[in-house]
């Protein structure tokens, strides 16, 4: 119930105004978000990569409503990728891209062309792009764009959300040689007709998907903070004789940082998803929805101001 309410609030302009102007909100947000500028993002990336972690950078912004806004996002990614290369970070940090930020809701063709430009900039910087998966209404369009892009950029990463009833089928289609696939539970509100509503069902689906990906020939990117799922991932790696460089764990910046380090220290690859930018509201609200403790932290911080 609380999760659904927070996810609905993540799309509400009224709640957005209240949250964005809450006292001390910026310090609270900084726990999950690297900052607002490219310099902030680079500083966090340098710190994490120095600790033997990999990074994927997300420029905050979604639901772009004009071509001009989409253009600004593409230009921002291009600048970010150039700066990553200048700092010699291309081999340790990639970018995550939301297609709605580059115009998907306006025109699929525009989003494809813009995503292609980001992929070209990533290639010049010696790195890769992963297409975030968003609201369930965008899934088929995102997969179409992914397949088009992979024609020229086979290393573009896909994301599958295990809460989708069709998740296992999507994973089976994507478990081919060279295919980078991030598996996550799913962070958006979705109706029962397309997604499992029960947490246990979502977790069981995650395990089924993980089995498909780990047995397959692609490169699984297991995005979860869930200790049980991380343990099962480790067991599947042993079962399928996977070397640590043939898959990776992924976690969000600010969530279970000790676990990120523990896995890296035991020789696994761990990538941290680092979001930054001024459009933090939707991302922040989805993090609150995931964990009541995050909400309590937010309310305590605001109350103490």
Closer to ligand FAD by CB, 42 or 195: give it. 195
Nearest distance, CB of residue 255 and ligand FAD, angstroms: 4
Q: In this chain, which stretch among 113-121, 147-155, 181-189, 295-303 interacts with ligand FAD, using CB under 6 A?
A: 181-189
273 binds ligand FAD (CB under 6 A): yes
Concerning whether 132 is annotated as a catalytic residue, the answer is yes
133 binds ligand FAD (CB under 6 A): yes
Nearest distance, CB of residue 286 and ligand FAD, angstroms: 7
Cβ 110 vs Cβ 146: under 8 Å? no
| 196 CB-near residues (< 8 Å, 6+ apart) | 163, 165, 202, 205
| 3 CB-near residues (< 8 Å, 6+ apart) | 289, 290
197 binds ligand FAD (CB under 6 A): no
73 binds ligand FAD (CB under 6 A): no
Instruction: Dig out the tokens for 240 from the structure.
Output: 């399928």
Closer to ligand FAD by CB, 175 or 222: give it. 222
Q: Which residue has the tokens 């310099």?
A: 39
290 binds ligand FAD (CB under 6 A): yes
Closer to ligand FAD by CB, 114 or 224: give it. 224
Name which of residues 222 to 241 contact ligand FAD (CB under 6 A): 223-227
The rounded distance, in Å, linking the Cα atoms of 115 and 130 is 10
Backbone angles phi, psi at 222, to 5 degrees: -90, 100
251 binds ligand FAD (CB under 6 A): yes
The Cβ of residue 155 has, within 10 Å, a number of other Cβ atoms equal to 18
Q: In this chain, which stretch among 3-11, 36-44, 173-181, 252-260 interacts with ligand FAD, using CB under 6 A?
A: 252-260
> Among the options 58, 92, 132, 180, which is catalytic?
132
* Phi-psi region at 130: left, alpha or beta (left = phi > 0; alpha = psi -120 to 50): beta
Which of 10, 45, 100, 161 is in the footprint of ligand FAD by CB under 6 A?
161
147 binds ligand FAD (CB under 6 A): no
Closer to ligand FAD by CB, 86 or 94: give it. 94
Closer to ligand FAD by CB, 23 or 198: give it. 198
Which of 26, 204, 291, 300 is in the footprint of ligand FAD by CB under 6 A?
291
185 binds ligand FAD (CB under 6 A): yes
> Among the options 92, 116, 182, 271, which is catalytic?
182
Concerning whether 217 is annotated as a catalytic residue, the answer is no
Q: Which residues bind ligand FAD (CB under 6 A)?
A: 132-133, 159, 161, 184-188, 223-227, 250-252, 255-256, 273, 290-291
Residues identified as active-site: 132, 182
């Amino acid at each position: 119930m609380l999760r659904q309410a927070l996810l609905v609030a993540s799309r509400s302009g009224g709640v957005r105004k209240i949250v964005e102007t809450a006292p001390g909100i910026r310090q609270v947000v900084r726990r999950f978000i690297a900052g607002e500028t490219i310099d902030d993002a680079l500083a966090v990336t340098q710190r994490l990569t120095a600790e033997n972690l990999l990074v994927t950078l997300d420029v905050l912004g979604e639901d772009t409503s004009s071509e001009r806004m989409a253009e600004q996002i593409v230009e921002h990614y291009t600048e970010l990728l150039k700066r990553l290369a200048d700092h010699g970070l291309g081999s340790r940090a990639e970018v995550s891209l939301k297609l709605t930020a580059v115009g998907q809701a306006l025109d699929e063709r525009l989003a494809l062309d813009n995503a292609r430009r980001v992929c070209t900039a990533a290639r010049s910087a010696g790195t890769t792009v992963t297409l975030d998966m968003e609201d369930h209404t965008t899934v088929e369009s995102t997969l179409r764009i992914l397949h088009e892009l992979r024609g020229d950029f086979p290393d573009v990463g896909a994301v599958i959300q295990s809460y989708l009833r069709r998740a296992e089928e999507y994973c089976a289609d994507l478990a081919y040689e060279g295919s980078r696939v991030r598996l996550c539970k799913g962070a958006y509100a979705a109706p029962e007709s397309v997604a499992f509503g029960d947490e246990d069902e979502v977790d069981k689906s995650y395990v089924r998907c993980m089995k498909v990906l780990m047995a397959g020939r692609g490169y699984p990117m297991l995005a979860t903070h869930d200790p049980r799922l991380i343990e099962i991932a480790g067991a599947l790696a042993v079962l399928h004789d996977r070397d640590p460089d043939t898959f990776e764990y992924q976690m969000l910046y600010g969530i279970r940082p000790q676990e990120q380090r523990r896995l890296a220290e035991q020789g696994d690859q761990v990538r941290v998803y680092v979001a930054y930018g001024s459009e933090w509201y939707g991302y922040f609200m989805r993090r609150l929805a995931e964990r009541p403790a995050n909400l309590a932290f937010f309310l305590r911080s605001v109350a103490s101001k």
